[in-house]
Structure 1
Amino acid sequence: MNVPSAPLPSERRFLDLVSAAEVVEDPCPHLFLDGLFSDNELQALYDHLPDETLFQDVGSGLHTFQTWREADDLDKLDARQSAYFQRLEQELFTPQVANAFYQKFRPSRERLFDHLFGETAATRLTEIELADWSMAGALNIRDQSSELPIHLDWPNRLISIVVYLAPEDGWREDWGTRLYEVRRDLSPADALGLMARTKPQELISVDTEQYRTIDFRPGRVTAFMNTAWSHHGAAIEPTAGSHARRWCLVKGLNLTLGATEAIFGLPPELR
């Protein structure tokens, strides 16, 4: 059966936007970019989204649909949707785009490893082995009056890439990702322990009133690097007269588990 092709952003446009984006170091290395999707391309994405009944309710107002290459959820899509999400992975979220994000954060990554490992930083950097990022990805819906709790990512996550989506009217800019201000004077041992999950997050007392918000705007792409001070979250405040939810597409640029174990150690939850 022939499925008409829907408009999709070009890989070249994505690469140019990543190249032009500025990495901001405070409170943790991050960037955002606008203009990846034209209005027609963004509407095409909305037109191919899975029905919300296909999302898994994981509690606390969060619903997920896995989009990584071999996810069982993809079998729930019709032929039109399946073809679109295959093209999204093959033509937009390409290895070249993954490498562009990886290289964009290279100076920040080198500074992080210098702090964590000192004289052995160069050796640790050579141990980085990236997982295929087509094996990571999910659509998330968060209900109004829910929140993404303040947290650090697992040590296998190098960079989180989030595409904000708004298929329903009533979204708010303050639904964006909050990057919290935390102490930057951690000792190397404490910083490494936080990232490796050998020390509790409570080692840092997070001021919940001090944060930078990457404003939520439809089609905006935000990316931030995982560090010992990359505490982040989101609060989905209600919009009067609207039942809109916060939608996003999440991709992760991850280490292989072998590289994670070699560099940080492997928490039991990842084994």
Structure 2
Amino acid sequence: MGKMAMTLITVLFLSVVTAFNDMKFDYQIIEGKARYLENIETNLEKNIVKIHTPAHNDVMESYQIQDFIQGKQLICLPSINQCRLRDIDRDSAIDSGKVTESFIHSWNKGDNTITSESSVVVTELYYPDFNDVLDDNSLGKALNEFYQHFKYPLYREWKVPKDAEVYNMTHSPQRLVKRDAGVLNHDCNGQAIKTVYGIDSGTHCNHYIMCDSLTRNGRVILDDNCGNIHITSPLVYQCVCCHWVTAIDDEDCACVKKNV
């Protein structure tokens, strides 16, 4: 009987810990004329953050998980049937502890709305490598479990170099849609070609609340200096172009891009 009681106490204790670690937040987001709910889920023990952002304005629906133990981020985009894996961008990412503390602090003040007008916009530029199709066996446990809900083709993403040339794609004609990189049906008048990056229509995004912390009597607490961060990631593709190009079109460029 004593062992049964001890087992029951242990189960209840683990349930409480699990309930504490798995926390879900729904925030009302206002972006221009769009109003929607963003769903955030955090787990302190696993150090992961999950975010679901519905489609709005020109932004695609996205499902995202950040695993801070592995240092990896996986995002799935149903509208283009793709999942993409990359290293977490430490310049803009916030770990699960900080996210949870900031959201709880905000909720305790009765604030569960984020407006784009009051947000600091952070733009992340990453491009997919469609020649690097990943096997889900290469994912860690948390990422793999998340990925099983989608099972779209999984590609690796790379950060656009800071010194790269980045241009808007004026349109997306069929000539830009190629399976292999570097195939340019243009001799560029015998002159050199260059690798550039094209920003296409469509993007995905998410919002965070970040509160400053301070130390009082040896304890770290959050103050009321909280700010909103709007992370936006436009669709970027790697292209080869004639050296004179300043906007990507179908005459002087070829980009690695997948059809939906």
Q: Indicate the TM-score class for this superposition, using the shorter chain for normalisation.
A: under 0.3
Q: Which has the higher contact order (CA 8 A, sep 6+)?
A: 1
Q: Which has the higher strand share?
A: 2
TM-score by length of 1: 0.24
TM-score by length of 2: 0.25
Q: Which has the higher helix share?
A: 1
Larger radius of gyration: 2
